[in-house]
Homo-oligomer: A and B are copies of this chain.
């Protein structure tokens, strides 16, 4: 491609609303342009990258035996009412009305549509397992779209749905797709991890997220320092500490802590370690047999965070997890949040494993402006139910017993999920089994955020000068850069010859053919756009029969004989 026939839309300035580096670089390099909040145009340069992601995803899906189809963006409300999601789904589901006042939505996902299709088309167990995928525009009406295409409203997604009789079949396809996902992200040259994930309210029995590791990631991922263990922080178990509780040494004392409401305030005021201050959170209890709903206190160390997913799975606790209001707390405890503690409460207390081995600790006195110090379980407060209700932190023992937890940040680019019969049951998707009986199928679903992959790749591969594309994602393999082409016929001729030769060798070349363009500007653009290989052609080099090669990632430069350029670049590409 000649630059004069292409749209190079690089920018020096970073728009003010771009926070993360991928968003900044995608705007500056001219990959995307914002049309409206959460809505982006993919410029020719960006679309080339997006199509490369699509091609790898499509190839691996085909190899995994999934069949490509295409379902509509606009979906009728009836199907979502059948699954129950028309009511359940929040404001991210953009509900619309057509000219006849019928209800539709813009699909954020296609479980209902595919389930409807399969229940109509597949009637026998003989046609199962079946696995269908599409690469299609999705819409999610984010309250606060941000980070460019990372959290846009309209985006491109690969979604697949598999159908089965029995768990074994689902597990087999799930494993195949797990491998296919690993292949996709490996081929794209990304450093990623498949992370055990929570199945959340969607139900089902198995789920993995695929994360590209990057400091700007929105998710925390827990690794073992010694083993293969990896899990979403929210899902990793914080196992019971090896140490037992130290014997009580201090005197139980009530102290005034005026104005100290947070655990940090209290620790500072009392000159205590944050880990010595226990914090108490009060949540709604699960309904009892009479449908009444009391309260439950959850106690974790001051340096730990409550894990809401773990908490709401407890039988004593209401799901979804609901914090008690100030009024409810005051009515039940006689004190406000900021002075709460586990002592003397009239409702159940659940204490985290780490907090349960604390001794001589600090906690709220359940009396506004007062805390207790030198508190000890059993001596001062009966030891309540002990279980894991916190997020793991770096340094925790790994749940598999090997090494300690390390935490890195990740960007979720894929998610695979065993749905079980959540949709097929609600929508009556059945087939005749071997015995001629109607049987509800089980399902898996498998997503890849195609547009998000582009952003994640940049988060992981960039420097101060711009993007550094992995080979599989680069919009052009090579940049061909003339020096003062308008002054030198030799440079112009040699560039034309190399342009043809590199293309004939099957390379995607961006020829910076604007004769009067300044070298520094061109090179800065190419670095920004992240093209991995640069060939710079000038009179001085040509006199010695050479051009200059520069590698974007390493920054290394070297002279290459004109006659060897094509072979040299092909060699670089195959590395």
A interface residue numbers (CB < 8 A to B): 5-7, 9, 33, 35-36, 39-44, 47, 50, 65, 67-76, 78, 91-92, 94, 96, 98-99, 104, 106, 113, 116-117, 120-121, 127, 130, 132, 137, 139, 141, 143, 153-154
**Are B41 and A67 in contact, with the CB atoms below 8 A?**
no
Question: In the complex, A536→B74 CA distance in Å?
Answer: 42
Residue of B nearest to A70 (CB): B42
- Tell me the bound Cα distance from A47 to B139 in angstroms: 22
Are A74 and B130 in contact (CB-based, < 8 A)?
A: no
A-B contact pairs, 14 of them (CB 8 A): A5-B65, A7-B121, A33-B120, A35-B71, A36-B78, A36-B104, A39-B72, A41-B69, A43-B121, A47-B68, A74-B106, A94-B99, A96-B96, A98-B153
> Hey, which chain B residues are within 8 Å of A113, CB to CB?
35, 41
**A33 shortest CB reach to chain B, Å:** 6
Question: Would B91 and A7 count as touching, CB distance under 8 A?
Answer: no
Taken together as a complex, chains A and B put the C-alpha atoms of A35 and B79 apart, in Å, by: 10
Q: Secondary structure at chain A's binding surface: helix, strand, loop or mixed?
A: mixed
CA distance A139 to B41 in the complex (A): 18
Cα distance A433–B164 when bound, in Å?
64
**Which residue of the partner chain, among B70, B104, B143, contacts A41 with CB atoms under 8 Å?**
B70
Q: When A7-B130, A33-B120 are in contact, do A47 and B69 touch as well, CB less than 8 Å?
A: yes
How far in angstroms is the closest Cβ of chain B from A448? Answer: 17
Give Cα A33 to B73, complex, Å.
Answer: 15
3 tightest CB-CB pairs across the interface, nearest first? A42-B70, A36-B76, A44-B67
Q: A67-B44, A72-B41 are in contact. Are A99 and B137 (CB under 8 A)?
A: no
> How far does the Cβ of A487 sit from chain B's closest Cβ, in whole Å?
19
List chain B residues, Cβ under 8 A from A99. Answer: 91-92, 94, 141, 143
* Nearest CB of chain B from residue A155's CB, rounded to whole Å: 10
In the complex, the chain B residue whose C-beta lies closest to that of A143 is: B99
Taking a contact as CB atoms closer than 8 A, the residue among B7, B41, B50, B68 that contacts A71 in the complex is B41
Given the known A-B contacts A41-B69, A139-B74, are A116 and B35 also in contact in the complex, defined by CB atoms under 8 Å? yes
In the bound complex, CA of A47 to CA of B6 (Å): 30
Closest to A136 in B: B137
- Beta-carbon contact of A94 and B96 below 8 Å: yes
Residues on B with C-beta less than 8 A from A74 are 39, 106, 139, 153-154
Q: Is the CB of A73 within 8 A of B71?
A: no
Q: CA separation between A534 and B143, bound complex, in Å?
A: 55
Also in contact, A73 and B154, with CB within 8 A (given A67-B44, A99-B94): yes
User: Which of A35, A50, A71, A106 has the largest number of chain B CB atoms within 10 A?
Assistant: A35
Name the distance in Å between A75's Cβ and chain B's nearest Cβ.
Answer: 7
- The residue in chain B whose Cβ has the minimal distance to the Cβ of A141 is B99
State how many angstroms separate the Cβ of A529 from the closest Cβ of chain B.
15
Residues of B within 8 A of A96 (CB): 94, 96
Residues of B within 8 A of A67 (CB): 5-7, 44
Greatest chain B CB density within 10 A among A36, A73, A96 is at: A36
B-chain residues with CB within 8 Å of residue A65 when the two chains form the complex = 5
